[in-house]
Amino acid sequence: MRTHNKDSQSTTTPEIALSYLREGNARFVNNLKANRNLLEQVNETRAGQWPFATILSCIDSRTSAELVFDQGLGDIFSIRLAGNVLAEAVLGSMEFACKVAGSRLLVVLGHTSCGAIKGACDQIQLGNLSTLLNMIQPSVYYERTVTENRTSSNPEFVDRVARIQVLRTVEGVIERSMVLREMVEQGEIGLVGAMYDVATGTVDFIEESWMCGHVRHFYVDASIVGTSARKEEAMAARRAAPRPAVAEIAAAPLAQPEPQPQAQAPLQPQVPPQPRPRAATAG
């Protein structure tokens, strides 16, 4: 399989980029890995890289994006943080990957049986891990269908929270990055969420999360949780707020501050914290 180059990247649309990933995962689950010489690809990419997609996934050892999408060197930008949380540095990496390096598709990839999600469900407190898990807490809050056993011992609950975490992260990309939002609105890049099943190797793209030429919302941030009317009001205010054109963004000095990101402050847990130390659950 050929390494992506400048020409192939420039002719790849967001839809084509998505099809590359779908085809790659189909090869992966059918054990039909593409025939590629990685050492040859080292030579082919020595002068530069033109990846067609950028994938934010979990650090889980079973969810390597290059492997589950059957991609080679120079094909995708891979960003990995436990629970695929959206830190500032992640947004900066995405902006580099898309605006500077020409990637055409952004994917937020969650997965089943996620240790980080389990930690958030159990309100684990442990050093710096607490900060990370607090970023996931709103997803636990937004899961309202499971009324009993809202802990890591309930796999269905954990996977529902993981899916919400994906959608919140997708929404966070367009809410917190004007650069990426403009690119999505203008159809320059596609943005989509997906769930990887660690039991089957299958990636399920969440169709309703697909954005290209338009943006959509799934949840509101913790800071504006309230009635649906309040939500609509807040969203309308955001839509009405003047935003600079892409050219202005590109011309702006690097020190130009972005709009204050919406706080991802943890919500009050629905049940009293019951710290239950767990061994090696991260990832």
**Contact mark string toward Zn ion, 189..228, x via CB under 5 A:** ----------------------------------------
Query: Does 58 engage in binding with Zn ion (CB under 5 A)?
Result: yes
Size of the site for Zn ion (CB under 5 A): 4
Query: Does 60 engage in binding with Zn ion (CB under 5 A)?
Result: yes
DSSP codes of every residue in 7-30: HHHHT--HHHHHHHHHHHHHHHHT
DSSP 8-class letter at 237: H
Q: Encoding tokens for residue 194?
A: 């997906």
Query: Does 136 engage in binding with Zn ion (CB under 5 A)?
Result: no
Instruction: For the segment 72-131, give every residue that binds Zn ion (CB under 5 A).
Output: 114, 116
Interacting residues of 7 by C-beta distance below 8 A, sequence separation 6+: none
Nearer to Zn ion among residue 94 and residue 166 (C-beta): 166
DSSP codes of every residue in 172-233: HHHHH-HHHHHHHHTTSSEEEEEEE-TTT--EEEEEEEEESSS---S---GGG-S-HHHHHH
Query: Does 282 engage in binding with Zn ion (CB under 5 A)?
Result: no
> Closest approach of Cβ 142 to Zn ion, in Å?
18
> Closest approach of Cβ 211 to Zn ion, in Å?
23
The window from 9-17, 51-59, 163-171, 253-261 that contacts Zn ion (CB under 5 A) reads 51-59
Q: Compute the radius of gyration of the chain from its Cα atoms.
A: 19
| Distance separating alpha carbons of residues 233 and 189, to the nearest angstrom | 28
> Closest approach of Cβ 54 to Zn ion, in Å?
18
- Binding interface with Zn ion (CB under 5 A): 58, 60, 114, 116
